[in-house]
Amino acid sequence: MSQQRVLDGRYEVGELIGRGGMADVHLGRDVRLGRSVAIKLLRPDLARDPQFQSRFRREAQAVAGLNHPSIVSVFDTGDQCVVDDVTEPVTVPFIVMEYVDGRTLRDLVRSKELSIDEAIEHTLGVLSALEYSHRAGIVHRDIKPANVMVTPDGGVKVMDFGIARAIADSAATMTQTQAVIGTAQYLSPEQARGETVDARSDLYSAACLLYEMLASRPPFVGDSPVSVAYQHVREVPEPPSRFNPEISSALDGVMLRALQKSRQERFQDAAAFRRALRAARTGVALTPPAPTVPEQD
């Protein structure tokens, strides 16, 4: 596809700045308003599949109604007819989004430039975005470092709601295809098992993200995605202080709660997670949960 083109007579498509499993993202320019934008185009090979078309459009619908400083804004959507030398013309949907000048958390983790305070602050921003989206009925389903941008002034922007889904729709068990959606290092146990997904699944993924920022490694590593997924379901993660001795016991306690296998034993909403993180930053430990009474046979 040509790099030099204009969508809807308004959006100039420039250099490729990102590539995902479903779509390519280009730097663009809104000639009408004279501002930089990010343009996400569904890959032409996937655009021939109605399921991918529907999923891609659902992203725009999900995010268009979200107005929060820590969520990348959607400005416009449309379709572009693409013709190449091999196949018949195909209609490719696109999304015009806010362009964020910054670096992903993945890049910052790899560069080992994050302090503990910065890791907490970035996670608070992610949780603020999730608190808002969850109230709006949207589960992100793919929280990971590559989907979080940090601006030069330290602001956080959560992006790529491409597999987001309304909470009401998440009540249905995921299909086999949907069950593998997400990235293994950040999958909640219920996602790894192909079970129902809710807001607490996003909070587990956010905890994995924080763990990696603190420990410079995710809570579970393995030789394959299947191996990592198994550990999310069965294994207890090491406290992050084992890999970073500067981490306090209070922060270890927050991570232990946030990474519980059972959703009922995790933080029940983003606000509770945020409160616990703020307290841990000042050295205040979590109150241990009341012990559960084992069921009698």
Q: What is the structure's pLDDT at 285?
A: 84
Over the stretch 145-167, which tens digit does the pLDDT of each residue have?
Answer: 999 999 999 999 998 875 555 55
Question: Do 204 and 189 form a contact (C-beta atoms < 8 A)?
Answer: yes
Q: What is the structure's pLDDT at 97?
A: 92
At residue 73, φ and ψ (nearest 5 deg) are -80, 145
Angle at 196 between CA 195 and CA 201, to 5 degrees: 100
Facing residues of 18 across strands?
A: 25
Determine the Cα–Cα distance for residues 215 and 210; give it in Å rounded to an integer. Answer: 9
Q: What is the structure's pLDDT at 48?
A: 84
pLDDT of the chain, 297 residues: tens digit per residue: 444 589 989 999 999 988 877 788 999 999 999 999 999 988 888 888 888 777 777 777 777 888 999 999 989 988 888 766 566 788 888 999 999 999 999 999 998 889 999 999 999 999 999 999 999 988 998 899 999 999 999 999 998 875 555 554 444 333 333 434 457 899 999 999 989 889 999 999 999 999 999 999 999 999 899 999 999 999 999 999 999 999 999 999 999 999 999 999 999 999 999 999 999 999 888 776 655 445 454
Determine the Cα–Cα distance for residues 209 and 235; give it in Å rounded to an integer. Answer: 17
Q: What is the structure's pLDDT at 297?
A: 47
Q: What is the structure's pLDDT at 57?
A: 78
Among candidate residues 8, 107, 117, 142, the one labeled active-site is: 142
| Distances, alpha carbon 14 to alpha carbons 11, 27, 28, 52, 214, in Å | 9, 5, 5, 24, 36
Q: What is the structure's pLDDT at 162?
A: 59
Quick check: is 117 catalytic? no
